[in-house]
Structure 1
Amino acid sequence: MQTPRRTWLKMLAGAALPGAQAFARPSNPAVPAGTEMPPALPLPGIYADSIDPAPYLLSEKYDGVRGVWDGRALRFRSGRLVSAPAWFTARLPAEPLDGELWLGRGRFDELSGIVRKDLPVDAEWRSLRYMVFELPGSAGTFESRARRIAGIAQRAAWPQLVAVAHTPVADRAALRNRLAATVAQGGEGLVLHLASAPFSTGRSDTMLKLKPSLDTEATVIAHHAGNGKYEGVLGALGVRTPEGRQFLIGTGLSDAQRRDPPAIGSVVTYRYRDLTSTGLPRFASFQRIHHGL
């Protein structure tokens, strides 16, 4: 017999944000033993209109899964090994690479399902491309590293290893025009790399992202019961940002996600328009479970 929707609500309990009813389910299982620490990577900041884009090189922001190749193994951003087919990793060079495993515009969920499988499916992996944009730890400017990546991809002569194309941009107007054209074609946004920058890790103004709306991650800390049309299922997620700010995300969730919400302790990606004067996101909308990839 099918379990009524209310049954799982009664079985869940957890801490809520102040003044709100909440329910919770167990957090994700522990990370398997032996998983390595996350690699130190360059992470994008957010482009602001006050920044002159002329010193930067522009590329599309691919809606993929970060993949870091250390010369021997392919890993997620979390440090966990990617279960890629042996024939795929055998075609990668000995030199470390950083990029995005990518299936195509608007196909992130399908891609995520493919690369997270413990047993890879060859036919699925033959549709993927490794979009490389950085050489971890390498000397020289970003512009020189981008040229080296292009050379690596050319020598590999393998369609699944792709050097991300970087182009200069004259001014803010040209940047906005390029963004509009990319989004109109189904792209997610743009990335700006400071052409003169040496390799560095963490967030800085040497790597910036530009999208029609902003997105980032937060940790789920509570499940808030719904009412009205959402009576008996999830109404909103209570989340906490890395800076410690807490707020609710009640839009963007599918009916299936409201019946079986992201676990307490999981990390989710949300989209928002801008920040309030107190630093909280305005019009936050759920996008996906981050999965620690």
Structure 2
Amino acid sequence: MNVLKCFNKGQPLPLRIKAADALRYLCSYDPVSQDIRTKITVIMAELLVLSNDNEFDLINEIMDDFVLKYAKELEPFALQLAKNLNIQFLRIAEELMNFSTTQNNDDKVSKEQLDKEYQASSILTNMNTMIITMTSEKDLTYALLGSVEPSIRFVLENCMANFISELMEILESFNYTMKCIVPEAWSIFDLVCESFDNFGFDYVLDYLQYFESIITYSFLEDGNKAGSNNDINAGQKTEEQKTSIKNEESKIISLVVKLLNEDNGENFADEDLVLFLFKLISLLVLKLGCVNF
């Protein structure tokens, strides 16, 4: 295929990127799709190199499309792909943090920072696509969280609000795929609550589906996690584990109560916050039968 030849090493960079962009559309045709299927791991490896060496968010968009279309073929390489994406994101995030401490009015610097933000956002989208599509084994999904967890923690610990939307999508997708809240996810939940306290009022709808997933898949039923039917969290919980889980679950109730009690007369003029509270309270009532607010 001539397009694949244009993507080969040694070709000019603009031609390689154009070729990769063409491939993601051409693979909609069965004959082309079958040909690419046998070469997709090599193509993705090359795209990772290009993404790491060049700050073009288009490359990450192309990778995202390929993950969607060839998730099954890429699953054996999922962890390596996720680790590479994690390394790339952390590198760019560190650079963005440096921008925030040395920022000036230079337009060139501002454009460079914006380009890096777009690329970092695309990488997080890639991570989310992997979690959504590579679902044949929950052990793999669980391992994917471990591979990208450093990026998640970096965003939350450094209050990088620009990436909250993408980050909440990753966490919600993970909870939805696992159908339970694993210990690592509870640890991240604590950081999410801290970030919500810091700047959550400006992003309440971005947080909404994540908190809904926490409520849906966390509260104990008959001594076990609701919806927990996978090997990672299967089996009866010890009393100590039940107590720990209940302590974590109480935090979501405390968050809602805190928002209700801290209203200063202005918060409930915010329609997004009203919707946020209404949906969480409704879900809590459904899960618990009654909630004593």
State the TM-score bracket (shorter-chain normalisation): under 0.3
Normalised by the length of structure 1, the TM-score is: 0.22
Higher strand share: 1
RCO (CA 8 Å, sep 6+): is it higher in 1 or 2? 1
Structure with greater proportional helix content: 2
